[in-house]
Amino acid sequence: MEQEPELIARTADELVGDLNKQQAEAVQYRGAALLIGAGAGSGKTRVLTRRIAWILSQFGAWPSQILAITFTNKAAAEMRERLTALIGPVAQRMWVSTFHSACVRILRRDGKALGLKSGFSIYDSADSERLVKIIATEFNVDIKRYTPRSILGRISDYKNQLIGWRTQLAAYAPDFKPGSRGYRISNFDNVEELYAIIYAEYEHRLAMANAVDFDDLIVRTVELLRDHPDVAEYYRHKFRYILVDEYQDTNHAQYVLIRELAGVDAGESPAPTAMAAGRQGPAWITVVGDSDQSIYAFRGADIRNIQDFEEDFPDAKTILLEQNYRSTQTILDAANAVISHNEGRKPKKLWTAVGKGEPIVGYAADNAQQEAVWVASEIARLHAEENIPYSDMAIMYRANAQSRSLEEALINAGLPYQLIGGTKFYERKEIKDALAYLQAILNPADDVNLRRILNVPKRGLGARAESIVLDYARERGTSFFDALMHMEQIEGMPTRTAKGLKAFRDLMASMSAFARANITKPSEIVAEVLSKSGLLEELQKSVDPQDQSRVENLSQLQSTAAEYEQNTPDATLGGFLETTALVADSDQLPDENEDSGKVTMMTLHTAKGLEYPVVFLTGLEQGTFPHSRSLEDTSELAEERRLAYVGITRAKRRLYVTRAAVRAQWGQANDMLPSQFLDEIPDELIDWKRRETGSERMRTGWGSESDEFGGWEDDDFSSGPTFGGSPYGSSYGSRSGSNSGRWGSAASRSGSSSYGSSSRYGAHSGGTRGGKVSTRHVTPKNGGASGAKSVAVSSLQKDNGLNIADFTIGDLVTHDQYGLGKVVDTQDRGRNSVITIDFGTEGTKRLMLRVAPIEKL
DNA sequence: TGTTTTAGTATTTTT
DNA sequence: TACTAAAACA
């Protein structure tokens, strides 16, 4: 075996000396199967990295014998980093990766055995959906009734369960032959048949296109290991220690993959005296997880994997880590209380030595805007009065759609933030177009990508031209690319179309020649494609301001390629495309030791595995969180509760829980009841800054004399600021990853009455606890006349008395925070006037004049 | 074929 | 509301 000179040997004491008893036991355990039940914040990453180091230094294993699997790329990178610190540069050569990228690696090497050719494409869900749509349409399926997404969802379920298309076909449509032309589905009553047929055809087309989808990465690897003993043998011999993080989120296919890789069922027994995994027998498996943090069941994660671990792996050992090093006792008490409402779980109680800490702060807002404003003002206060850095604070919510009002509030308050999630960089049109070119160059058989770019940018090849080529391809049973190459033989093609197609073919040929000549220089290929294809040119010529940012995105894509090229010794185009295919939201997050200086906003799902000193959990309402689609089903509700558990345990020092009495979802304002999770937190743990909203107080009869009548409907809120034009005009909040004009305008509602069966607030008693209460508001609009507004309103009502007319471009001003600046632009919007100021090194800021802490010089 | 208008529909959560 | 996709029009 090769030498591993960079391996730093660690003594036993260095590895376990500073750990608690359970942690140390987990690190040192000798045995074929270990389950570490790691409660939130119990130091599992630490244990995992130490264990790897332990295996190397004390069991005498080689780094190349270790396979460590995490859930996200970020987690993998972090673990590798920690390992490098612990054992030296040799960690760089270990397999520390996600399920998906590990499988890509295996398939790249050995996929030939399955008929996968080099350069195979990886379809993301959008690509897959396109393909399903194409098939369904061809088969005469009513795609309104059976949406591509729902069909794909079903296919994905099959795959996660390792149910193959042959099985489904045999059971429900034995007469169907994938790839047969002109097939029409006639029997819509038998949905299983419909799914089986589309599933089979989908797989057929994927194979034709030399492509795999996301789920296939796992499934096909399992297939590879099962059907090709030589390949299985290679990996079983190679990986002697397999460690899996977030085991509660694995699905059945991933579970089987682990078993296959480890060779658990291979029937080989270890040497009787083995003190380590050695050379024979199954690899040793360590899994780490927390069944209370299983939040991906909707995606096929099977909580039984972790619950049944001890039955699944003979002689398995379980070690529980229950000491929490992250949060205060108050926060843990809340988390424990909430999760204890889930039935059928193994009892577990987190505890901490940190102490009680601050109470949880609660706030009930009248509506989502007010909730956001209150959160923003509290953040500003914590920063100003308690010196808490913005980067120590995070705002979390159930669904991405909730981020809008929060963003607006943060912008108005002038607070820097970063939003994680939303539309991902690699999912944007222009990026997907560019990537489609690259993919088509690398893998010409890839019909989906080739057809995507046929007329992008516009080159006069529309649906007509496409179908001419396509018909020919289907007739001959070849790929779109093949048909294109033989287009001269197509009869009856209009000259104009032929000309266009030839030009396209030549273009692809020339780019492909360039790519072959520069295959190790992805960034140059990207540059070539962007300019030659005309993608860049089309956008540059465009007058649409959005296209300007698209140009920037494309140039960022090129930088990304260049970066990849520099960091990867054996860079290839294919390698680059892989890195783009397997990114997740959380990958956008800055490193833990890098201070972004910004408040972080993200969904609860994205937040898993992270921690912040201050956490705001927003939207705690029935129907928002727990989500309305989960209210009916106990197991889905249990998952929501686990999500709440995850959210609560992200907080280290301070936790805020907020809700809104009225929330608009897709244009409709709805009355919302408080989340049941709020009731599940012991009351004495929460310090309510505002417990009931105005309308609730009114309706329950308390303080009915108050003049808050209609006060929840405040005009000052509903006519929030409108930032027109490109969001890039504002320098607040670099949205890492997402964007494009999402914050167009603040929700301007007037009158939010919804009609329906009215039920009183407070009707918690009954069995069913509906998501939204439909109540008819007595007051249609025109609030704001009353004097006693809620506390939070004040910040929006605030007015510094400045007048936009008093400012001209070039004026000098001072800002409380940014210092001296020069006015670059003014926009007169009356009360919502906006002023743009260049603060030099502090950047150019767009400020809402009436609240901006500025002074004219 | 390309552009504009209109209509319908969608929101969980993502490797 | 906001985005996408079909439909209508140029």
Pairing of strands A854-856, A812-815: antiparallel
Q: Which two tokens stand for residue A492?
A: 């009856």
SS3 of A232-264: HHHHHHHCCEEEECCHHHCEHHHHHHHHHHHCC
Residue A434 resides in a domain:
yes
pLDDT bracket for residue A84 (50, 70, 90): very high
Task: Give A479-527 pLDDT, tens digit per residue.
Answer: 899 999 998 888 888 888 888 899 999 999 999 999 999 999 999 999 9
**Do A242 and A100 reside in the same domain of the chain?**
yes
**Do A559 and A431 reside in the same domain of the chain?**
yes
Percent of chain A with pLDDT over 90: 44
pLDDT of residue A492: 82
> Could you tell me the pTM of the whole model?
0.78
Q: How far is CA A668 from the centre of its chain?
A: 26
CB of A667 lies under 7 Å from some atom of strand B: yes
A458 in active site: no
Catalytic residue among A124, A203, A215, A245: A245
Residue A511 resides in a domain:
yes
Q: Is A523 known as a binding-site position?
A: no
**Do A552 and A430 reside in the same domain of the chain?**
yes
**Do A602 and A574 reside in the same domain of the chain?**
no
**Do A399 and A485 reside in the same domain of the chain?**
no
Task: Give A291-346 pLDDT, tens digit per residue.
Answer: 999 999 888 899 889 989 999 988 899 999 999 999 999 999 999 999 999 988 88
**Do A441 and A541 reside in the same domain of the chain?**
yes
Task: Give A580-605 pLDDT, tens digit per residue.
Answer: 887 766 666 666 656 678 899 999 99
Please check the confidence at residue A765 and state whether its pLDDT lies above 80.
no
Contact call for residues A246 and A31 (beta carbons, < 8 A): no
The single-letter DSSP state of residue A8 is P
pLDDT of residue A21: 94
Please check the confidence at residue A75 and state whether its pLDDT lies above 60.
yes
**Do A361 and A312 reside in the same domain of the chain?**
no
Boundary residue ending a domain (A660, A677, A696): A696
Shortest CA distance to A147 belongs to which of A198, A206, A182? A198
In the numeric block, the tokens 């009787």 are attached to A272
Residue A702 resides in a domain:
no
Q: Which tops the pLDDT comparison, A117 or A8?
A: A117
CB of A144 lies under 7 Å from some atom of strand B: yes
**String of DSSP letters for A78-95:** HHHHHHHHHH-GGGGGSE
Nearest-nucleotide field for A401 (CA, C1'): B11
The gap between A33 CA and B15 C1' (Å) is 25
Residue A731 resides in a domain:
no
pLDDT bracket for residue A111 (50, 70, 90): very high
Residue A788 resides in a domain:
no
Residue A796 resides in a domain:
no
A44 in active site: yes
Boundary residue ending a domain (A321, A352, A387): A321
- What CATH number should be reported for the domain holding residue A103? 3.40.50.300
Our count of domains for chain A comes to 5
Contact call for residues A644 and A618 (beta carbons, < 8 A): no
**Do A308 and A241 reside in the same domain of the chain?**
yes
Shortest CA distance to A210 belongs to which of A446, A7, A484, A559? A446
Q: Could you identify the residue whose CA is nearest to the C1' atom of nucleotide C5?
A: A144
CB of A747 lies under 7 Å from some atom of strand C: yes
The arithmetic mean of pLDDT across residues A240-261, rounded, is: 94
**Do A184 and A258 reside in the same domain of the chain?**
no
Which domain range does residue A190 map to? 124-212
Percent of chain A with pLDDT over 70: 81
CB of A464 lies under 7 Å from some atom of strand B: yes
CB of A423 lies under 7 Å from some atom of strand B: no
CB of A125 lies under 7 Å from some atom of strand B: yes
Boundary residue ending a domain (A212, A228, A248): A212
Residue A826 resides in a domain:
yes
Please check the confidence at residue A712 and state whether its pLDDT lies above 70.
no
A175 in active site: no
Catalytic residue among A10, A23, A44, A640: A44
pLDDT of residue A112: 94
- Provide residues 669-728 of A with CB closer than 7 Å to any strand B atom: none
pLDDT of residue A190: 80
- Residue A409's contacts (CB-CB under 8 Å, 6 or more residues apart) are A369, A372, A373, A375, A376
**Do A455 and A575 reside in the same domain of the chain?**
yes
pLDDT of residue A471: 85
pLDDT of residue A136: 87
Please check the confidence at residue A407 and state whether its pLDDT lies above 90.
no
- What CATH number should be reported for the domain holding residue A558? 1.10.486.10
- For chain A, give the mean pLDDT: 81
Task: Give A186-219 pLDDT, tens digit per residue.
Answer: 766 788 888 999 999 999 999 999 999 999 999 9
CA within 13 Å, CB half, A653: 9
pLDDT of residue A292: 93
A424 in active site: no
Q: Which two tokens stand for residue A572?
A: 């290839």
Q: Is A49 known as a binding-site position?
A: no
**Do A223 and A287 reside in the same domain of the chain?**
yes
Kindly provide the residue ranges of all beta strands, DSSP E only, lying in A297-392, ordered along the sequence: 317-321, 323-324, 351-352, 360-367
Q: Which residues is A251 bridged to in the sheet?
A: A301
Residue A773 resides in a domain:
no
A28 in active site: no
Task: Give A621-657 pLDDT, tens digit per residue.
Answer: 999 999 988 888 888 899 999 999 999 999 999 999 9
Pairwise CA distance, residues A362 & A722, whole Å:
29
- What CATH number should be reported for the domain holding residue A159? 1.10.10.160
Contact call for residues A732 and A817 (beta carbons, < 8 A): no
Protein-contacted positions of strand B (CB under 7 Å): 1-3, 9-15
> Residue type at A849?
L
Pairwise CA distance, residues A66 & A35, whole Å:
17
Whether cis (ω within 30° of 0) applies to the bond prior to A347 is no
Please check the confidence at residue A389 and state whether its pLDDT lies above 70.
yes
Across A119-128, A211-220, A773-782, least confident range: A773-782
**Do A260 and A339 reside in the same domain of the chain?**
no
